[in-house]
Structure 1
Amino acid sequence: DSVSQDTLLELRRLTQRLDDIEKRGPQGASAPALNGPLPGYEASAGTGAPVPEEKPAGPKLRISGLNLENKRVAPKRDEKPVPALSAGSFFEAILLNGMDAPTSATTQKNPVPTTLRVKTVAMLPNEYRVNVKECFVLASGYGSLSSERAILRTESISCVRNDGKIIESKIEGYIVGEDGRAGMRGRLVSKQGQMIAKTLVAGGLSGIAQGLTPQSVPQLNLNPGDTVSTQTADASSILQTGVAKGFSTSANEVAKFYMEMAREMTPVVEVDAGRKVTIMLVKGFELK
């Protein structure tokens, strides 16, 4: 590694320098005089005490890359960038299951889910591409009565990498149909007309029953007296009145029942499975 190479190079330079010094010997050195002080001694002060001779400073070793804990630090590998999709990216997908999107106002708060399968790579700005083929996208939507279309919004995307790891992330986008418009055109189906027709039939039967009910005829008494006139119905009249009133009441209740069903049955937009759509992103996300 780099530490061992620097150390070996410095040792070679130091060995070569020491060999050169031994070959040349000390520069400017002369023999001491016979009556002079010996090397390492000083005659001044009349003491003759030895004074330590100063040694020339030799070369010092320079060690680079030394770790205090005597551990080797592995070089960091270049991390690969995480693929990401920016806002405005789009890719094509296919509906795996159809849906009946209700057009009521309550359905917008609780939309109907569906699943899509991605069939192309994602197209990013500046001709960049990200491979998201065969990923699954979950979406949900509701029906629009005015345009007879199903409005779909994406919820999440899930993919499996080559090493087996699963990628799951939230995705914000909308779905464009085959005609290039937001949403998917479908068949508007309404069953309210049948319920209303049944309500009309029940109401008509109730009116007929009321018409068959016998009615009492008022009488004019020109000779009032102490006697009170009464009217007693015969058995046939009683039977006819009971049947007519019972049928009229039942018909009214049936008419109310059909009217309640007509209020509950809202129109739906039917969308078949297997249709090709385009998913447009309104916010970017990372595939991690």
Structure 2
Amino acid sequence: MKQYLYRLGIAGLATMQVMMLAVALYLEVFGNLEPEFKSYFRWVSLIFATPVLLYSALPFYINAWRSIKGRTLGMDVPVSIALIFAYVASLVATVTEQGEVFFESISMFTFFLLIGRYLEMRARRKAAAASGNLLKLIPAIANKLNGEQVPVKSLQIGDQIKVLPGEHIPADGVVLNGRIHIDESMLTGESLPVVKGKDDFVYAGTLNGDEAFDLEVRSTKADSMISSIVRLQDEAQLSKPKIAEIADIVARYFVAIILVIAAGTWFFWHQTEPDDAFWIMLSVLVATCLVLYR
């Protein structure tokens, strides 16, 4: 996560600097920019865009290479091609002082894609942390009725334990005596305590009020309600919804179509306007990459 922040930070700083220089190059249309200043702005833009391409955009290249090795076409394949082609073309244009440069597009494109990836990664990590925090609500030690302290993970169905005031309940089970107040907000979101009496069911991880009571265990720690919730959360993070699987399949075909269209675009324009063929093909790649990530 920290490495991703470094990549995002470098891309963001470079984008701001390159965009300031790009504005001057854009305004050349409305005025006269001295050739030496134009060349200077391009070289400075090249310096800022290079770490973006080589460092910030590295995750896209890695994912693209994995896709190619796995004989699939992921969304990072056209992204990587567009970034590399745009950089090489801009580098040639800067050195030869001919043609257009796209350093601002490279930096901004990488920056916004990294923002999306970072937010997705952050959401996944928060979900994983929430799952871990739920399990921490189950105490490690339980008190048996004879005063013996045992690990909660060793409790078996039918064991009887004592739950002390202010203690998190160690296991799912049935109340054997007393009238108690249980805070079930971690399960239901209800802030008010729930009144429980003899033979009522209570859940591991919920909080006992100010009265001690005896509990008969009805499920082990691994089979408790809270463990089932955590297990479902973990499965949801590891698996994809059906609609996401369909989207991935469609995206693979879409990527293949994009590459074919880009190649066809270059071939067509190469017959009529050879000097513009590469730039038009590059525009097709960049535009379709943006569509993929919407």
Q: TM-score, normalised by structure 2?
A: 0.24
Instruction: Give the helix-richer structure, 1 or 2.
Output: 2
Report which structure shows greater RCO (CA 8 Å, sep ≥6). Answer: 1
Larger Rg: 1
Instruction: Give the strand-richer structure, 1 or 2.
Output: 1
Q: TM-score, normalised by structure 1?
A: 0.25
